[in-house]
């Protein structure tokens, strides 16, 4: 594992973007999995700037959304697909190259997504944020390494973190996510750790010891794992 502490949000975004731009240049066309959340916003801002300057393209990439809410009452508001349009729409929004695990109208057929991943030859690069309970994608604590795309019931803590200002009746309860099996099999993995309440997750990754109930630590031992972490989180333990 390569652990890159970042002193501030600029350094964080810069380290993450440099890594992604380098990988995209080295192995096009790229099969890429990307996350939502606050953590990657600086990275996406930099990628848009790099693309504008002609130094980066996802033109030939296949972009696999990591997850999506299944029963979001006001879909697409608050969904991954809406987030993606806003953040990377100018770079990738083409239905032929962006894949959504939520088959409209039929969330009970996640196998379709696995077939797509297999047909693409698996992931070259998985970019992952981390929930404060250690989830990656929506692989919540208790997830198994052999799982592929599946529907999950969201943990109470995840709903509190992701929908703090949304009344309960407008929150989803289920999500569909790429499973740990495909994330573990990705040729490279970039984990981004930033934000409140993630000091214990950061410390667990730094210690290098797998903790069953912290799904992100299941990645420890991956042959090409890079972790960019807010330095302040490492000091908080
Ligand atoms: C959601 C996503 C995760 C993401 C997490 C962290 O739950 N499914 O992929 O990593 O949010 O969000 P944030 O970066 O806002 O802390």
Which range has the worst mean pLDDT, 31-45, 61-75, 82-96, 134-148? Answer: 82-96
- 17, 46 in Cβ contact below 8 A? yes
Please give the distance, rounded to the nearest whole angstrom, from the Cα atom of residue 178 to the centre of ligand 1: 14
DSSP string for residues in 6-73: ESSHHHHHHHHHHHHHHHHHHSSSPEEEE--SSTTHHHHHHHHHHHHTTS---TT-EEEE-EEESS-T
Evaluate: CB of 39 within 6 angstroms of ligand 1. Answer: yes
Proportion of the chain above pLDDT 90, given as a percent: 77
> Is the pLDDT at 158 greater than 70, yes or no?
yes
User: Chain-centre distance of CA 146, in angstroms?
Assistant: 18
Residue 206 alpha carbon to ligand 1 centre in Å: 20
The sheet with strand 225-230 has its strands ordered as 2-6, 225-230, 188-193, 125-128, 31-34, 62-65, 98-99
Q: Ligand 1: does its nearest atom lie under 6 Å from the Cβ of 139?
A: no
pLDDT in tens, 66-81: 999 999 999 888 899 8
Ligand 1 pocket test: which of 13, 40, 65, 129 has the largest number of ligand atoms within 8 Å of its C-beta?
129
Structure confidence by residue, pLDDT tens digits, 175-227 = 999 999 999 999 999 999 999 899 999 999 999 999 999 999 999 999 999 99
pLDDT band at 60 (very low <50, low <70, confident <90, very high): confident
Q: Which residue has the higher pLDDT, 109 or 231?
A: 231
By residue count, the chain amounts to 237
What is the 3-state composition of the chain as percent helix, strand, coil, each rounded to the nearest 5? Answer: 35, 20, 45
φ, ψ (nearest 5 deg) of residue 226? -120, 135
Across 15-44, average pLDDT: 94
Kindly report, residue by residue over 87-136, the tens digit of the pLDDT.
988 787 666 788 899 865 555 666 789 999 999 999 999 999 999 999 99
């Amino acid at each position: 594992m390569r652990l890159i502490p970042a002193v501030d949000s600029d350094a964080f975004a810069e380290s993450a973007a440099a890594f992604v731009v380098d990988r995209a240049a080295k192995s096009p066309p790229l099969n890429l999995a990307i996350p939502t959340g606050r953590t990657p916003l600086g990275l996406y801002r930099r990628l848009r700037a790099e693309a504008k300057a002609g130094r980066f393209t996802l033109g030939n990439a296949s972009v696999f959304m990591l997850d999506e809410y299944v029963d979001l009452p006001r879909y697409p508001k608050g969904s991954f697909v809406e987030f993606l349009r806003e953040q990377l729409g100018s770079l990738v929004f083409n239905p032929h190259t962006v894949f959504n695990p939520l088959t409209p109208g039929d969330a009970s057929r996640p196998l379709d997504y696995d077939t797509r991943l297999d047909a693409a030859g698996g992931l070259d690069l998985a970019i992952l944020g981390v929930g404060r309970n250690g989830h990656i994608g929506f692989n919540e604590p208790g997830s198994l390494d052999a799982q592929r795309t599946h529907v999950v019931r969201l943990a109470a803590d995840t709903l509190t973190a992701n929908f703090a200002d949304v009344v309960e009746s407008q929150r989803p309860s289920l999500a569909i996510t790429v499973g740990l099996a495909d994330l573990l099999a990705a040729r490279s993995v970039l984990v981004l750790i930033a934000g409140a309440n993630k000091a214990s997750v950061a410390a667990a990754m730094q210690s290098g010891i797998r903790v069953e109930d912290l799904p992100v630590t299941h990645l420890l031992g991956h042959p090409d794992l890079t972790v960019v972490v807010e330095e302040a989180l490492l000091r908080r333990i």
